Amino acid sequence: MISVFVYGTLLVGESNHYVVEPYLLSVTTGAVRGSLYQVGDYPALALPAEPDDERIVIGEWLKVTEEGLSAMDILEDYYGPGQTNEYERVWIRDRNGLHEGWVYIWTDVSGLTEITSGSWKAR
């Protein structure tokens, strides 16, 4: 079982949830420290640049099978460490410390518009 924090089109009820649904074992709401940005029809999460940055991104912790993580890697154009990836996949902890797992992050948010609510669904 693998934990992944999702915050955009992979959320329950969103356009790409079907990609992970066959491999889904459980869903729990959560939030992580970071900022959310608009990248066309989907969002990108950026980790805090400063240690005292308290902005949060609201999403869901998905518990999935290994096949579910592979399906998400394909969707997110993640080819592995050291490769040219659209998103990077890093380990993260929920802001309350109750969950930890993988998350897909964007490394360069220059020129992108921030979603100040921190919620893809509330944008």
Which amino acid, residue 41? D
| 123 — pLDDT class (breaks 50, 70, 90) | confident
pLDDT band at 118 (very low <50, low <70, confident <90, very high): very high
Share of the chain above pLDDT 70, in %: 100
Give backbone dihedrals phi and psi of 20, rounded to 5 degrees, phi first. Answer: -100, -20
Q: Which of 54, 60, 66, 76 is catalytic?
A: 76
Q: How high is the mean pLDDT of the chain?
A: 95
| Cβ proximity of 104 and 87 under 8 Å | yes
**Confidence at 50, pLDDT banded by 50, 70, 90:** confident
pLDDT(49) > 90: no
Convert the pLDDT of each residue in 10-19 to its tens digit: 999 999 999 9
Per the annotation, the verdict on 76 as an active-site residue is yes
What tokens appear for 105 in the block?
Answer: 């992050």
What domains, with CATH codes, occur in the chain?
2-113 (3.10.490.10)
